[in-house]
Amino acid sequence: PECSYRGHQTRGRWPYCDCFPGWAGPACGERAEVPTPIKACIVFLMYDTTNKEYFRYQKKTLAALDRHFNDRFQYPVVIFHSAKYRQRMGGGNSSTYLESLLHSTRSKVIFQQVDFQYPKYLRPWPQVKLTCPRYTYPRALNYIHMIQFFSLGWFRHPVLKGYEYVWRLDGDLAFTKPIPCDIFRVMRERKAVFGFYKWKNSKNPGSTKCSGPIDNITAQYAQDHGFRPAHLHLVNNPGPGWYCGGWVVFKWSFWTSPDVLAFAEHIS
């Protein structure tokens, strides 16, 4: 039988046996030491209570996380939220938004309120005419705060201190199928990096305008600090691009290291 009943058979392009604790080998037929526990958590930033449809998505997302992953692995869920979530829902419902979220999940939830404000770096900027020909998000406080929070703020937040891995998800990003393995353990055992590359489209004249001066700023910072990327040869590099880490698993010791925080501060 698959995995000798001692693990889960993963599907996809590279199927393998995700062995239960205490078992190892290609078919989980070999005894192994029980691995040390992993201190990891799943993080959401929830801010919009005025959009009722989006709030319903948030509840469905938490329920799907339980059903497809966390009922089995039992990792804590940290929900950063605006002050609005402490308000009562109204319309005949005496519960607060936080209570409603809590009732939609079986996971252990840690609520943490954060203040939503324009980043201090943005305030002195003059408003200029938009040059990007494609659709862009409006200068909404919620969205601008979210970008700043996940670029820098959460790496410094004390509630996340001490975790080995942190998995960022969005309130409207629900799983539709079971996740057959402990993603944090796979990351640790394989020393894996979880992310994806995105390249500029040289055929699209708007791609450069929409990305702003980030290429020049990053190149200058790398030159000033002696950084040389050691991984670009692993992918077919078609030109200017960037590595994206949104909605993925972060190895927290790396992303909270002094070098990375200094770079994030500079980019901000």
The pLDDT tens digits of the residues spanning 184-224 come to: 999 998 888 777 777 766 555 555 556 667 778 888 998 99
* Cβ atoms of residues 263 and 224 within 8 Å: no
- Distance, CA of 34 to CA of 200 (rounded, Å): 45
Residue 116 phi/psi, 5-degree rounding, is: -95, 120
pLDDT of residue 128: 63
The pLDDT tens digits of the residues spanning 30-55 come to: 988 877 789 999 999 987 777 788 88
Domains and CATH numbers, the chain: 1-35 (2.10.25), 36-190 (3.90.550.10)
Please work out, in degrees rounded to the nearest 5, the angle formed at the alpha carbon of residue 87 by the alpha carbons of 83 and 91: 145
Average pLDDT value over all residues in the chain: 82
Listed as ranges, residues in the chain with pLDDT below 50 are: none
Residue 9 phi/psi, 5-degree rounding, is: -85, 115
* Cβ atoms of residues 250 and 243 within 8 Å: no
Is residue 219 within a helix (H) or strand (E), and if so which, with residue range? Answer: helix 214-225
